[in-house]
A and B are shown apart, each in its own frame.
Chain A
Amino acid sequence: QKEVEQNSGPLSVPEGAIASLNCTYSDRGSQSFFWYRQYSGKSPELIMSIYSNGDKEDGRFTAQLNKASQYVSLLIRDSQPSDSATYLCAGSGSGYQKVTFGTGTKLQVIP
């Protein structure tokens, strides 16, 4: 069974710090990876997608992918209280297969 694993948290970081969210996946055939943010009571919103090994930066967010280690991470620099949410990692195989979601990591940014 294809799985995406995340630590459920909560991960607590002080305001202004770097939050590091981690995700591992079991399917070596997975090609595409996504990070979504979900506020309580709301639906997920896409933060970033990453397809190649290495880092991808977008503003305060950096996604990192290591296919050899089957590991995806999301770094949030200068964390703000408004970043407090559950972060979902997701992966999909090639050929537009369905996306498998992790259970999410709850992030709390303490003012």
Chain B
Amino acid sequence: GAVVSQHPSRVICKSGTSVKIECRSLDFQATTMFWYRQFPKKSLMLMATSNEGSKATYEQGVEKDKFLINHASLTLSTLTVTSAHPEDSSFYICSARPSGQETQYFGPGTRLLVL
């Protein structure tokens, strides 16, 4: 149980384009999902907290207009990187927290390369 999927697992795009990443909880409902970014050999950095049916809460320094988050259902959250630039290239990881629990379960991550 507690499986989280992400799609796509890897994406290469041109600078200036937008990329959407999906995060799904497959066998549980998640009122809250989290989006992280991780650069090579660096620690996880929380970008935003996504709550079903409401606006996401962004961490300091994360541009909400650049990283659009939608959490339209209890099993799906999406992160859209708008007008991507090479510096946005990173490993994006989502996690989901089953309703009523404190434990987070991570998706497999999406590796984004912006050329």
A108 at interface, CB cutoff 8 A:
no
A50 CA to B34 CA in the complex, in Å? 21
Q: Are B108 and A43 in contact (CB under 8 A)?
A: yes
Q: Is the CB of A43 within 8 A of B102?
A: no
CA distance A70 to B14 in the complex (A): 47
Closest chain A CB from B89 CB (angstroms): 15
Determine whether A80 belongs to the interface, using a CB cutoff of 8 Å to chain B: no
Whether the Cβ atoms of A98 and B49 lie closer than 8 Å is: yes
A96 to B107, CA, bound (A): 20
**Cross-chain contact of B44 among A45, A46, A88, A92 (Cβ < 8 A):** A88
Question: Judging by beta carbons under 8 Å apart, are B106 and A96 in contact?
Answer: no
Q: How far is the CA of A31 from the CA of B102 in the complex (A)?
A: 10
Task: Give per-residue flags for A45-62: 1 if the beta carbon is below 8 A from chain B beta carbons, else 0.
Answer: 110010000000000000
Contact B103 A46 (CB under 8 A): yes
**With A96-B32, A103-B43 as contacts: A46 and B49 at CB distance below 8 Å:** no
Instruction: Please indicate the chain A residues that have their CB under 8 angstroms from the CB of B34 in the complex.
Output: 98-99
Return the contact of A45 from the options B32, B43, B106 (Cβ within 8 A). Answer: B106
Q: A65 vs B97: C-alpha distance in the bound complex, in angstroms? A: 22
Known contacts A42-B109, A43-B93, A43-B109: A99-B43 contact under CB 8 Å: no
Q: Known: A42-B108, A98-B34. Is A32-B46 also a contact (CB below 8 A)?
A: no
Asked if A101 is at the interface (CB within 8 A of a chain B CB), the reply is yes
Given contacts A44-B44, A103-B43, A104-B43, contact A96 B109 (CB under 8 A): no
Which A residues are closer than 8 A to B by beta carbons?
31-32, 34, 36, 42-46, 49, 88, 92, 96, 98-99, 101-104
Report the 4 A-B pairs with minimum CB-CB distance, sorted nearest first: A103-B43, A43-B109, A43-B106, A32-B102
9 contacts between A and B (CB under 8 A): A31-B102, A44-B44, A44-B106, A46-B2, A46-B103, A46-B106, A49-B103, A98-B49, A99-B102
Excluding A42-B109, A46-B105, A98-B34, 15 further A-B contacts by CB distance (< 8 Å) are: A36-B106, A43-B93, A43-B106, A44-B44, A44-B93, A46-B103, A46-B106, A49-B102, A49-B103, A88-B43, A92-B102, A99-B102, A101-B43, A101-B44, A101-B46
